[in-house]
Structure 1
Amino acid sequence: MIVTTARPMETPNAALASLATPSLGSTEICTWRITMQPGAQGPVHAIDREQVWLPLTGELAFTVDGETMSVPAGQAAILPAGEVRQVAVVAGPVQAVVCMAVGGHATVPGSADRHPLPWAE
């Protein structure tokens, strides 16, 4: 068993804390905690791994390929791999836990460039 200490980092839209990642000893699953303030939204992008988002506080809206669904605290959102998506705070602040398989990368529409997710490494 490995017990980790959260590794914090910031983006323009959120504060993240890596909980289980390859650099922290996990070999198959990544998890991180994300905190987003009212009005915050992430960029439009796609991830090449399925993600499960578990809001602990507040409410998030996920727009996936043009369809928007709200997910309040205590529920879960399963975001398919490869789908264009955007996440936004509906009611916040929001704290959520996100899980995905190791090795995920992000792309933005119109670009073939793949970007690693630093909080999942």
Structure 2
Amino acid sequence: MRIVSATEDRVITTPAAVTTALAAPSQGSTELCNWRVRMAPGTTGPLHSIDREQLWTVLAGSLSIDSGGVTGHVAAGETVILPPGVDRQVTSGDEVTDVLVCMAVGGVATVPGNPAPVPLPWAR
């Protein structure tokens, strides 16, 4: 068993969110990683895809997620399962939104028009 404590050096701030790495290979996990995402009200993240399935569980607030051309609305207490390799874009609702994300180790992102993989620093 390994207990991981939150530290400031694992907090990554982007224009879309503040992401806190909770468990990943750098913290001793070998198969799964998870992180917390906090989005300000009405924030839209970049259009991208991830090469791993992800689970997004909304802890507070709400999200609209466009995945593969289908838009879903996820409220606190609900989880959305996002398939791998499908373009998605996430927008927070009218209040601060907190999400717990889980995925298999090793995932990378890509953005439309650029096939170069983008590592996810919170999942390393």
TM normalised by structure 2 equals: 0.95
Structure 2 CA distance for aligned equivalents of residues 27 and 12 of structure 1: 29
Structure 2 CA distance for aligned equivalents of residues 64 and 54 of structure 1: 16
Structure 1 CA distance for aligned equivalents of residues 35 and 83 of structure 2: 18
Structure 2 CA distance for aligned equivalents of residues 112 and 17 of structure 1: 26
Moved over 3 A (4+): none
- Which position in structure 1 is the counterpart of 2:40? 37
- Which position in structure 2 is the counterpart of 1:102? 105
- Which position in structure 2 is the counterpart of 1:10? 13
Letter in 1 for 2:94: A
Structure 1 CA distance for aligned equivalents of residues 103 and 62 of structure 2: 20
Task: Report whether the alignment pairs 1:84 with 2:122.
Answer: no
Q: Deviations over 1:57-103 (max 9, x none)?
A: 00001101111000000000000000000000123200110000000
- Give ranges in structure 2 of 5+ residues lacking alignment: none
- Give ranges in structure 1 of 5+ residues lacking alignment: none
Q: Which stretch shows the higher mean deviation, 83-92 or 70-79? A: 83-92
Q: Which stretch shows the higher mean deviation, 71-80 or 89-98? A: 89-98
Task: Report whether the alignment pairs 1:113 with 2:98.
Answer: no
TM normalised by structure 1 equals: 0.97
**What CA RMSD, in Å, does the superposition of the two structures yield over aligned residues?**
0.7
Structure 1 CA distance for aligned equivalents of residues 95 and 24 of structure 2: 26
Identical amino acids, percent of aligned pairs: 50
